[in-house]
Structure 1
Amino acid sequence: MSGVRLRAAEVVGQVLAGRSLTEALPAALCQLPVKEHAFCKALSFGTLRWYHRLEFLLRQLCVRPIKDPKIHALALVGLHQLAFMAVKPHAAVAETVAAAKPWARPLINALLRAYQRQRDALEKAAEADYEASVSHSAWLRQRIEQAWPRQAAAVLAANLAHPPFAVRVNLARVSRAAYAQRLLAQGLKAQEVAAVDSALRLDRPVPVEELPGFAQGLVSVQDAAAQLAAPLLAVQPGQRVLDVCAAPGGKTLHILESCPELAEVVAVDVSQERLQGVRENLARAGVAGKARLICADARDPSWWDGRHFERILVDAPCTASGVVRRHPDIKLLRRESDVAALAARQREILSAVWPLLARGGRLLYVTCSLLPEENEAQIRAFLAEHPDARAVPIHAAWGQVTGWGRQILPGEQDMDGFFYACLEKC
């Protein structure tokens, strides 16, 4: 099993070098037997989830920093197995050592065995360190504590938890209860998410091929919080709908499922590669011809033909600070300077697409962020600058009111962290 540890270390090393986990992981899995994929994912995600704590432990164990990035990453993978995984310690040490370059094997062996001997003292020291104790960078922890002082401890803990495996049932074709029975017939247990009519939470993650009807569009994999967008948009037959920043297309597909009688759906994304994901998503459900896909920057609607949209969905690019448990690499890749840059981009997108909305139409602003600068402060500033806009209160059994929108914090009703705000044009 040393090969799987080596591949996981390569993934971790690439993320530490600035590549996303989504980009780095597939290449590693291609080099492994299918039976080892789950373990490689567990090693990669887990090491990144606990990176700040593991890095602290490694610094305590090393007389000098490990200069070789691959050996550095492998040491973190080894520590993660001993600290957080139910792997037999002797196997974790032996297989991690075997995965190292020959010159580095004595070093890896010494580090891991030293951790085993000093574990209690090292973990006590980690608990006393600001970053290591909750395995978050100092700036992100501070931002969360400033924004959510009473809930910060729960948010930080939720960010370290394994995310639930949630699916969205295509209610136009099958009821949620009926689909739950289909899952049960295949030995898959699922619970209904009370706050979201289309959502089921499975007891364990499974490959999408094992979900009955997935290839035919009966169900899609999507967190329950993200499934709130289409109902809040409240589309009606005959309307034209614009979905900007649409990739990977889950919300676009949900809009089409919720109202097949729409006049037109236009999905815009700046990435041609990511638009291909939207195209594949729609094709799987048999609705590829029902949406027009446009590759463009949402801040430059020069493609617009002058016909107004009755509904606009702005799934804005953001820090993704609300989905850290699902994408632990965010904690390593995001920088504090990104917050202001992304907030400026969000303002530009809102200002660019607002003229495309018909009078009396609705714009739904969505982020998967926890930070006020990207959420309620963004909407407050927009309302101040646009007298023809008014905020529509969202009355719901999920999240909490935050000025001009509603915020779900990570882990609330076992959902990801999302912000929603509804605006209407007067």
Structure 2
Amino acid sequence: MPVLTLSPWWLLLCAPPVLLLGEAILRRAPWLRRYNIPEPVVGGLVVGLLVLALKISGVVDIRFTTQVTAAWWTWLVTPEIEWVTRPAKGVNMPLLLGFFTCIGLNATWRVVRQGSWQLPLFLGLATVLAVCQNAIGVVLAKLMAQSPLLGLVCGSLSLTGGHGTALGFAHTLEQSGFASAATLGAAAATFGLVFGSLIGGPVATRLIRKHRLGTVTALEATTGHATEEIGLWPNVKALASLGTVAVRHLVLLAVVIKAGAWLSWAMQLAGVVFPAYMGAMITGVVLRNVIDFSGGNWIDSRVVDLIGALLLGVFLAMAMMGLNLSELAGSAGPMLVILSVQVVFIACFTTWVTYRFMGRDYDAAVMAGGHCGFGLGATPNAVANMDALVRRYGGAPRAFVIVPTVGALLIDLTNSLNITWFLNLLK
């Protein structure tokens, strides 16, 4: 079978059409739109399934590469001291950092103060979920006469942890006698990314409609359609119509991304586990509140939201399109059983625990959808779930401060301790 390896630029080039494909499908599938499945997830999965079908049928094996070394593309997200070495970066890294910068620029002190007491509470809930994921995985693996380490791979190692944690612990698991830890870990993490994006919207939508939260209208409640025109081209046209205002915000965004890259580099140099996009987000928070406290009002949250929506849509379309779904096609039966149970469990946990403990209000419902995203997949998926909700039902500022902070940074600290404890228990 011929192998076709595509450069990372194809991902970037194809992302807008894939996003438009997702929007077109949602317009023609009201049941998908009703449950707020993000457009890039729909379009990206369609392309991913097409690539999988071509591979299974023996026509062609299409593979996407994701790393680039082009200096003009990586400069913005890399401090100069590192940039001169021409490091390889993900082609979607500028989009990811730009989006988290937008979250930071919209985090006013009022929002941060309101959500500060809920931050440790949400971290505690996310940690409890991670412990439960490992317990469920280990118990089910033993019931099916499989290695308990398979249960750990199908637990928080790959779900709450994602691809990075799964591959990071793979060597340790292989030393413990589980030879296929890296392959199965990547497959489980891919499964989580897909289903974390698919169930977050329905879980939160059910809570919002059941408890009549947010700004759901009677028309929307019956048809499932929002009245505001949203999508890639409407957002592009709206941004273009702003002229110099849009240019000013884009320049500010670039400055914050660059400063955030230096902050992330400094933290990593100090030995702190610090995702690159957290530096941009924190820098954005600081700058926004310095401007607000000094009496400035030239950051328009609506413009920042518009830019953020565009960046997130293109980023997630690239991420979903680049998933290797053939990893799932080759997954063993016991593994799929465990992962399926994990999906049902997190839907129940976020509905009955996350929503209740986070306040039983609209923000709590949006956080439940976000928790599905990073509890099974990754923080960008969580934010995409929440973005699809707030575009229909109204803003949830606390959710956009708490969920990314816990999902992108804090949960990795507690989850590593959780995984280590289970590894020692299973020795």
**Fold shared, TM-score > 0.5 on shorter chain:** no
Q: Which has the larger radius of gyration?
A: 1
TM-score w.r.t. the length of structure 1 is: 0.29
The answer to which structure, 1 or 2, has the higher relative contact order (CA under 8 A, 6+ apart) is 2
